[in-house]
Amino acid sequence: MNPQLAQLNPLPEKPAFPLSNHSIVGSLAEMKAQMLADVFVLDGIALLGQLTTIYAKPNAGKTLTTIFMLKESIKAGRIKGEDVFYINADDSGNGLVAKGHIAEQYGFDMLAPGYEGFKSEDFVNKLKKSIIDDTARGKIIILDTLKKFTDLMHKTKGSEFMKVAREFTLKGGTIIMLAHANKNRGMDGKIVAGGTSDIGDDCDCVYLLDEVSKTATTKTVLFENVKRRGNNVQEASFSYALSSENYGELLESVKPLDVETIEQVKKEFVTNAKREKDKQAIEAITDAINQGKNKRLDLIQFANESWGVPRRKLNDVLDEYTGEKLSNSSLWKMIAGEKRTKIYYLLSVDDSTTEDYENAKNGY
C-alpha cells in the first residue's frame, strides 16, 4: 500500500483481549497493603483476614470456647475489642444478657437479631456496604450460628453468601462462622459438616469440634482441622466445668490442654467415636445378656430378632468388646463352657468374679 494512502486511511485499532484489563500484576503493591499479618483471632485456629468455619453438634461448647479464645486474644493485645462484632443469633434472652456482659467487659460488640434494629436478613447488604465503603479492613465478625444468615441446604444461596463473604475478606475483613453438624455421624464415627459442601469448599479453614469425654463435673472437647490455608494447628483441646453458677464462672473454667493431654484426648476420641458407631449393637448384646441369653448362639439370635441388628455386626461387636476388666473397650467377659460353648457375662466395676462367672457358665 502507498505510505501516503496509509496515513490518510489508518487501519482500525485492534481491540484489546477481554481479560487484559483485569490483570492484578499492576496492582500488587495495593493488594499487599490490604493483606493482614498472620495474627490469630482464635489462638491457633482462626487467622485474621480469613474465612473460618467451626462445625459442632449442639451443646458441644462451640460458643463457649470461641468466646474464651476471643477474650484471650483481646487480653493478649493480638486484636482490639472495638474491631470485633459477635452476632449472637442462637441464644435466649438470658443468654444474650450474660454474654453481653462478657462483651462489655472485654470491649467487643455483641449484636442480636431483633435488638437495636438489627435483622439477620440485612446482614449480607451490610457486608456489601462495608466492601463498597472500604471499611472492612481489620474488622472481625463472628456468626453464631451460620444457618441464621444463609440456607445451608441450598447450594445456590450458600454459594452466593460465600461470594460476598470472600469479597469482605479480600478487603481485609475476617469472618468466623459457627455451624451445626449433621445429626448422624460418618462411618468413622466422627461428626459431619451440615449442609452442602459449598461453605467448606469456599472457606480458608474448617474445624470439626466434638465432645470427647465427659464426667460428672467436666467436659473435654477437641477441635480437629480438616482444611487450612495457613499455619493453623491440626488439633486443639479444651476442658471446662459443668457445674458453674453463671456464664462468667463457666467461661473462667475453660482450660486449654497441653500436647501430651491432647494425645490422650485423641485416643479417647477414637474410642468414643467407635462406641457411638457400635451403640445399637452394644445395647442389643447387653439386653440379651440381661435377659439370660448368655450362650453366644442364643445371644446373637435374641439380639438379632429383638433389635434388628445384623448377625455379622453382632458377632464383630461381641468379639471387639470382650475383655477381663471393665473399660471403654471391654464390656463383657467370655468364659468357656462345656462342649466349647462360649458364655458371656457383663463386666462391672466391682466384679466378684468366681461365683458370678460360674453362675453365668451354668446358665443361671
pLDDT 10s digits, 200-213: 999 999 999 998 88
Q: Which of these three, 269, 296, 316, is where a domain ends?
A: 269
Residues 126, 177, single domain; the answer is yes
* Each residue's pLDDT tens digit, 105-130: 999 999 999 999 999 999 999 999 99
Residues 184, 50, single domain; the answer is yes
Give residue 285's domain range: 278-361
Residues 230, 338, single domain; the answer is no
Residues 210, 348, single domain; the answer is no
Residues 145, 287, single domain; the answer is no
Mean pLDDT of all residues belonging to the chain = 88
Lowest mean pLDDT among 132-141, 181-190, 327-336: 181-190
Confidence band of 154 (pLDDT split at 50, 70, 90):
confident
Per-residue pLDDT, 8: 57
pLDDT mean over 265-270: 77
Per-residue pLDDT, 7: 59
pLDDT mean over 58-83: 96
pLDDT mean over 230-235: 92
Residue 358 pLDDT > 50: no
Residues 234, 137, single domain; the answer is yes
- What CATH number should be reported for the domain holding residue 61? 3.40.50.300
Q: Is 1 part of any domain?
A: no
Residues 137, 249, single domain; the answer is yes
Report the number of distinct structural domains present in the chain.
2
**pTM > 0.85: yes or no:** no
Per-residue pLDDT, 2: 59
Residues 199, 327, single domain; the answer is no
pLDDT mean over 285-313: 96
Confidence band of 25 (pLDDT split at 50, 70, 90):
confident
Residues 63, 201, single domain; the answer is yes
Per-residue pLDDT, 101: 96
In the structure grid, which three cell numbers stand for residue 20, read together?
487484559
pLDDT mean over 250-263: 91
Residues 261, 290, single domain; the answer is no
Q: Is 187 part of any domain?
A: yes
Per-residue pLDDT, 144: 94
Per-residue pLDDT, 33: 58
Q: Which of these three, 241, 269, 297, is where a domain ends?
A: 269
